């Protein structure tokens, strides 16, 4: 890569389809365009760029990635961010979150080697207890589940998340209306991420946040949060059906007891996963999500 070392380095902090916002090591931000038609940079990418006049730049080279968090729907790949330290899946007590979408995001993280945690927001709402119950299986499999009320008890939420976020780059992911931008605004001075009324967002079918964006929490630029648009679909076509149980920690644990090494956990005799299901060691909803996903991935 010696031919690129003369170029400036930059961090991709926002992606707007055809152009990007790059941050220099000095903390200055400028608009950059990709060289050529292909633009495969994502937020979190380290790039080499040079001045192109008019205060804008051209991206010449993409540095190798440590990781990439993405989903693969039927027709397209959607990359969320690269080079992240962890994923924070933010769901809310209301509107009711889809457990299938949560499970999918966690499987994608596991597959990309990215640690994940869950935040259950809107603890002030009456639906909170039921939502917490739906997350019991996730806490049991070793995920950290944080309860917050970002709007009504912001100081408490900050205190609860401070250690987790410190000195890391965290991608905040979750359905529309869960409070991702509320979290960003709370932790990032001057972020001014747009926050939407839930009813409005749901009725219009639109998301308040439409682009992924990198925010620094501290002036020293060591702790970062990445805001992302909510999603309604989360394809996992990058994963083979036979890999799936290995990416679901609760199923993985019990699959060691299966009689057949290539057990699909659907119908084979001597299946450790189904035995655990019958004993209540694996939740019914987790197993149902597994069978649905298995069918979906086996088809593709
Ligand atoms: N009751 C309650 N409402 C909250 C809480 N946190 C956020 N909200 C509200 O939830 C709504 C949605 O918040 P946003 O931060 O815009 O949600 P988002 O996840 O960024 O949504 P998208 O950008 O559409 O993906 C806003 O009206 C917030 O004020 C909370 O702890 N309790
Ligand atoms: Mg938002
Ligand atoms: Zn099995």
Q: Give pLDDT tens digits for 261-287.
A: 999 999 999 999 999 999 999 999 999
Query: Could you tell me which residues are beta bridge partners of residue 14?
Result: 21, 213
User: For ligand 1, what atom is nearest to the CA of residue 206?
Assistant: 24
Question: pTM here?
Answer: 0.92
Closest to 146 in 3D by CA, of 128, 121, 182: 121
pLDDT for the residue numbered 206: 54
What distance in Å separates the CA atoms of residue 245 and residue 17, rounded to the nearest whole number?
35
Phi-psi region of 254 (alpha: psi -120 to 50; beta: other; left: phi over 0): alpha
Averaged pLDDT, 233-262 = 96
Structure tokens at 268: 């084979």
Backbone angles phi, psi at 121, to 5 degrees: -100, 170
3-state secondary structure of 32: strand
pLDDT band at 205 (very low <50, low <70, confident <90, very high): very low
- Of 43-52, 200-209, 247-256, 279-288, which range is least confident? 200-209
Ligand 1 binding pocket, CB closer than 6 Å:
121-122, 124-125, 149-152, 174, 176-182, 195-198, 201, 207-209, 229-230
**Ligand with the closest atom to the CA of 182:** 1
What distance in Å separates the CA atoms of residue 275 and residue 292, rounded to the nearest whole number?
19
What distance in Å separates the CA atoms of residue 213 and residue 193, rounded to the nearest whole number?
9
Ligand 3 centroid to Cα of residue 281, in Å, is 14
**Ligand with the closest atom to the CA of 254:** 3
């Amino acid at each position: 890569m010696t031919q690129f070392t003369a170029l400036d380095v930059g961090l991709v902090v926002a992606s707007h389809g055809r152009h990007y916002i790059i941050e220099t090591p000095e903390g200055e931000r400028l608009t950059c365009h990709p060289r050529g038609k292909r633009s495969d940079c994502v937020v979190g990418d380290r790039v080499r760029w040079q001045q192109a006049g008019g205060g804008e730049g051209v991206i010449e080279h993409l540095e190798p990635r440590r990781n990439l968090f993405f989903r693969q729907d039927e027709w397209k790949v959607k990359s969320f961010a690269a080079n992240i330290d962890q994923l924070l899946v933010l769901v809310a007590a209301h509107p009711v979150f889809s457990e299938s979408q949560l499970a999918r995001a966690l499987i994608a993280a596991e597959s990309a080697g990215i640690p994940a945690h869950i935040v259950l927001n809107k603890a002030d709402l009456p639906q909170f207890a039921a939502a917490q119950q739906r997350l019991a299986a996730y806490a049991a499999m070793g995920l950290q589940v944080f309860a917050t009320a970002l709007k009504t008890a912001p100081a408490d939420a900050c205190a609860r998340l401070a250690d987790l976020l410190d000195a890391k780059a965290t991608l905040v992911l979750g359905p529309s209306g869960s409070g991702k931008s509320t979290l960003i605004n709370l932790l990032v001075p001057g972020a001014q991420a747009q926050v939407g009324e839930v009813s409005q967002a749901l009725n219009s079918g639109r998301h308040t946040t439409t682009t992924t964006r990198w925010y620094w929490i501290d002036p020293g630029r060591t702790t970062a949060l990445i805001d992302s648009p909510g999603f309604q679909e989360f394809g996992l076509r990058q994963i083979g059906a036979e890999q799936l149980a290995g990416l679901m920690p609760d199923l993985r644990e019990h699959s060691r007891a299966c009689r057949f090494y290539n057990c699909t956990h659907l119908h084979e005799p001597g299946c450790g996963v189904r035995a655990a299901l019958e004993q209540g060691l694996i939740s019914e909803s987790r197993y149902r999500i597994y069978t649905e996903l298995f069918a979906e991935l086996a088809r593709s």
